Amino acid sequence: MKNALEESKNMKTVLSMALLIGIFCGARVNAHGRPQAAAHTAKESPTEGAQQFAALGDLKLRSGAVIHDFHLGYRTFGQLNAAKSNAILWPTWLGGKTQDLVQFIGPDKVVDSTKYFVVLVDTIGDGVSTSPSNSKTQARLAFPEFTIRDMVESEHRLATEVLHLMHLHAVVGISMGGMQTFEWVMAYRDFIDLAVPMAGSPQSTSYDKLLWTAEMDALRLDPEWKDGQGTKPMTGGFAVYNEIGNMNVTSPAYRVAKTSPQDFPQFIEQTRKELTIDAATACDAIRQRQAINALDIPGEFGETMEQAAGSVRAKLLVVISPEDHMVNPTPALAFAGMMGAPVLTLDSPCGHESLACISAGPIVAKFLADPGSVQSTTLHAAASR
């Protein structure tokens, strides 16, 4: 599993930028342009891993609102087998882009594209798919609020209407991608065989909501926010936003070990300058965080957590870190326990970034190939972490 999740340096860079402050790293379409639509058809042979767009027309949301002229970004790797039974869908995390996920796809990586047909999806609001920052007709806060379920509905349309898939072997996701994975197993119970939510949750806790609300408040208090209409860099708002993210993406023990009091001035100066984007892209950050704050999968289906877990037909491998201060692991652990799913526990002070500090890739790959061979286990971070 060389070059998979164990590539801690690369993974940490991606997670630090995308999970902590990131809604803006990776590929982005021009805020004033529209992505060129491309459909996946039998007549076309796009380069493997190339950015593509599915033109889905109007996307009706659960609220009744509509995103007009909706384009969903995606990339594909590998080949669909004759039985169409080897497709794996992997949606992006909070602010992540499919380009960030490419490093995990390929022979001897987390998802082997010589065995599986892999579909990476840019979730709504990531700045690649139709988002507040790039919509011509519903720009900025005119872009309707959407939910994690809406993300999954758009992905289901991609799978069925564009890629002509009637079943998925698995859905895999990290962080907000893990939330979408939990949503998939409830919304489409007979559509997938396996699911691997990593650092995700079926329900946002009050602590999660406090974090995301604080970050959104920091952005809205910037003088250049201007109700989402500002055009200049939001240096003050993003400075506080970055501070909040850095405080939560790892554990207190990690920060104490990695940053001495003497080094703190340099650390905080760098932190405050990590990201200074204008209000257009800040709207993407806010809309995706609103989706996370609204996450309550059992409540969405009018069920208790136990009822929801009992109704799942897919087999799950739930990956959590007890020190995750960004996505509290309590609901994911409860869900796994209620359905008897194996739990991969990452014992690391890296917290939400534990996938950057512990090699989980081999076990995830093993589960995708033979779910019955994986039992609950705990992996420990190396002492140097």
- List 170's β-bridge partners, or say none: 88, 194
pLDDT at residue 363 in the model? 97
Other beta carbons within 10 angstroms of residue 224's beta carbon come to 19
List the chain domain ranges. 8-207+292-380
Q: Please report which confidence band the pLDDT of residue 164 belongs to, taking 50, 70 and 90 as the band edges.
A: very high
d(CA 178, CA 118): 16
pLDDT at residue 35 in the model? 35
- Return the CATH superfamily for domain 8-207+292-380: Alpha/Beta hydrolase fold, catalytic domain (3.40.50.1820)
245's CB contacts (< 8 A; 6+ apart) are: 20, 21, 215
Residue 213, CA distances (Å) to 62, 131, 272, 325, 372 in order: 22, 20, 19, 14, 40
pLDDT at residue 108 in the model? 86
Are 195 and 316 in contact, with CB atoms under 8 Å apart? yes
- pLDDT above 70 as % of the chain: 88
pLDDT at residue 385 in the model? 47
Which of the residue ranges 2-11, 79-88, 225-234, 301-310 would you say has the lowest mean pLDDT?
2-11
Q: Which two tokens stand for residue 361?
A: 């890739």
Which of the residue ranges 82-86, 216-220, 276-280, 298-302 would you say has the lowest mean pLDDT?
276-280
pLDDT at residue 342 in the model? 98
Q: pLDDT, tens digit, for every residue of 288-337?
A: 999 999 999 999 999 999 999 999 999 999 999 999 999 999 999 999 99
Rg of the chain's alpha carbons, rounded to an integer?
A: 20
pLDDT at residue 384 in the model? 52
Match 């326990």 to its residue by tokens.
337
Q: Are strands 192-198 and 343-347 parallel, antiparallel or unpaired?
A: unpaired
Average pLDDT across the chain, whole number: 89
State which of 3-12, 41-50, 128-137 shows the largest mean pLDDT. Answer: 128-137
The pTM score is 0.89
CA nearest to 128, candidates 41, 50, 59, 34: 34
d(CA 288, CA 175): 12
d(CA 98, CA 49): 9
- For residues 60 and 45, the model is more confident at 60
d(CA 53, CA 316): 29
Other beta carbons within 10 angstroms of residue 10's beta carbon come to 14
Q: Span 23-33, mean pLDDT?
A: 28
Rounded to 10°, the helix 279-293/235-249 angle is 40
Cα torsion 50, 56, 60, 62: sign: negative
pLDDT at residue 53 in the model? 97
Residue 190, CA distances (Å) to 71, 85, 135, 309, 312 in order: 26, 13, 34, 14, 9
pLDDT at 140 over 50: yes
d(CA 320, CA 332): 8
Q: Please report which confidence band the pLDDT of residue 33 belongs to, taking 50, 70 and 90 as the band edges.
A: very low
Q: Span 240-245, mean pLDDT?
A: 96
Phi, psi dihedrals of residue 76, rounded to the nearest 5°: -125, 150
